[in-house]
Amino acid sequence: MSRYWSPIVKDLQPYVPGEQPKLNKLTKLNTNENPYGPSPKALAAMREVLGDGLRLYPDPNADSLRGCIAEYYQLDADQVFVGNGSDEVLAHVFHALFQHGKPLLFPDITYSFYPVYCKLYGIPCEAIPLDEDFAIQVADYTGINGGIIFPNPNAPTGRLLALADIRRLLEVNNETVVVIDEAYVDFGGESAVTLVNDYPNLLVIQTLSKSRSLAGLRVGLAVGHRELIEALERVKNSFNSYPLDRVALAGAEAAIRDEAYFRECCDRVIADREQLRSELNTRGFDVLPSAANFLFCEHRSEAAADIAAALRADGVIVRHFNQRRIDNFLRITVGTVEQNQLLLESLDRFFGA
Ligand SMILES: *Cc1c(COP(=O)(O)O)cnc(C)c1O
């Protein structure tokens, strides 16, 4: 702390991202990255823009990428917003679309960036407990609020809420914006994008970081009613006119156009997730149902912290949250078949099998 800090900075409680180890021989199953590389077509498109053109600013409105996303979802381009990772898109949503005088509602167990943004933007919040099975009950979200946000599937639980439930929530909550953060929806969820023309207060957030293997490129997006998008544009153009560089614009568009590669990677992750689930079951874990690229599980006799430490000693990193209700759970990203095997072998050593 320094006397030169502003009062706001003194009070911030920044988000702590999962570890990005410098050693690459580690088996990294802690931050839900895709184990497969980006689309070869996306890589080629990015190489193509590496040249003299980089002396020029990128398109501040990202018209070509927004048009491509609009076409993909059969929407208009003015219903699409893009940003430097969905974390940046989310920050603009907190700034632009939540009513700052009333509490923002989100689950007690959820993406831990939400309370951080509340602090940054001075938004009060109320954590709504998940039920005993870690499911969201939409009936719990009907109180006075300045907005509602949750991931679907939820993180770090992986549990999916049916589209019918989201529709039910939107029917009763039409005074404030409802944000569905679909970071993992491509691994088995049903996107709420199909509802945006029915509900002017619905905003859907997606990212290219997980299902399109581009966490290193930083591209996220929002789709919704054009007036919601206009609010995001107003904040963005008061903050940074060029959040996406030329490389990101080219790579993102090519990645979205390569549907076959995208589907193939997602299908592989889904199949390996179910295989890993049954292997974890066999080893004494209770595993929550998951529609994401990770599994959230609790061992029936060993403590999560001890298991995580033993895995780490073997060079396998998983995520353990020191948080009430989930401190005995591990969140394990689905890796390649080989990575999942290394995880299981390390578990077998720990359990003395
Ligand atoms: C990974 C993740 C994000 C952030 O994605 P980026 O686009 O990489 O910033 C947002 N929300 C949830 C729930 C996530 O898991």
- Single out the residue in 238, 258, 278 at which a domain terminates: 258
Instruction: Assess if residue 54 is contained within a domain.
Output: yes
User: Are 239 and 271 in a shared domain?
Assistant: no
What is the CATH number for 290?
3.90.1150.10
The encoded tokens of residue 21 equal 């180890």
Instruction: Assess if residue 179 is contained within a domain.
Output: yes
Query: Considering the chain, what percentage of its residues have pLDDT values greater than 90?
Result: 93
Predicted confidence at residue 194, as pLDDT, reads 98
**23 pLDDT band (50/70/90 cuts)?**
low
- Single out the residue in 215, 237, 258 at which a domain terminates: 258
pTM score, whole prediction: 0.96
User: Are 49 and 14 in a shared domain?
Assistant: no
User: Are 81 and 203 in a shared domain?
Assistant: yes
Predicted confidence at residue 149, as pLDDT, reads 98
User: Are 56 and 102 in a shared domain?
Assistant: yes
User: Are 27 and 54 in a shared domain?
Assistant: no
- Residue with the smallest CA separation from ligand 1 atom 2 is 183
User: Are 228 and 288 in a shared domain?
Assistant: no
User: Are 189 and 83 in a shared domain?
Assistant: yes
Q: Could you tell which of 110, 209, 290, 333 is best to mutate to test the pocket of ligand 1, judged by most ligand atoms within 8 Å of the CB? A: 209
Contacts of 291 (CB under 8 A, 6+ apart): 153, 158, 159, 160, 184, 185, 187, 188, 189
User: Are 21 and 114 in a shared domain?
Assistant: no
Question: What atom of ligand 1 comes closest to residue 219's alpha carbon?
Answer: 7
User: Are 238 and 283 in a shared domain?
Assistant: no
Instruction: Assess if residue 227 is contained within a domain.
Output: yes
Number of domain units in the chain: 2
Predicted confidence at residue 8, as pLDDT, reads 87
Tens-place pLDDT, residues 340-349: 999 999 999 9
Question: What atom of ligand 1 comes closest to residue 87's alpha carbon?
Answer: 9
C-alpha of residue 221 to centroid of ligand 1, in Å: 11
Mean pLDDT of 204-213: 98
User: Are 108 and 229 in a shared domain?
Assistant: yes
Tens-place pLDDT, residues 87-118: 999 999 999 999 989 999 999 999 999 999 99
C-alpha of residue 180 to centroid of ligand 1, in Å: 12
Mean pLDDT of 28-51: 97
- Single out the residue in 258, 290, 321 at which a domain terminates: 258
What is the CATH number for 226?
3.40.640.10
- Residue with the smallest CA separation from ligand 1 atom 5 is 86
Question: What atom of ligand 1 comes closest to residue 151's alpha carbon?
Answer: 13
Pocket of ligand 1 (CB under 6 A): 85-87, 111, 151, 155, 181, 183, 207, 209, 215, 220
- What does pLDDT average to over the chain? 96
Domain interval for residue 21 = 7-37+260-351
User: Are 244 and 295 in a shared domain?
Assistant: no
pLDDT at 353 over 80: no
C-alpha of residue 87 to centroid of ligand 1, in Å: 6
How far is the CA of 136 from the CAs of 1, 109, 183, 204, 299, in angstroms? 39, 10, 17, 17, 23
Instruction: Assess if residue 1 is contained within a domain.
Output: no
Predicted confidence at residue 306, as pLDDT, reads 97
User: Are 129 and 227 in a shared domain?
Assistant: yes
Tens-place pLDDT, residues 125-171: 999 999 999 999 999 999 999 999 999 999 999 999 999 999 999 99
C-alpha of residue 265 to centroid of ligand 1, in Å: 18
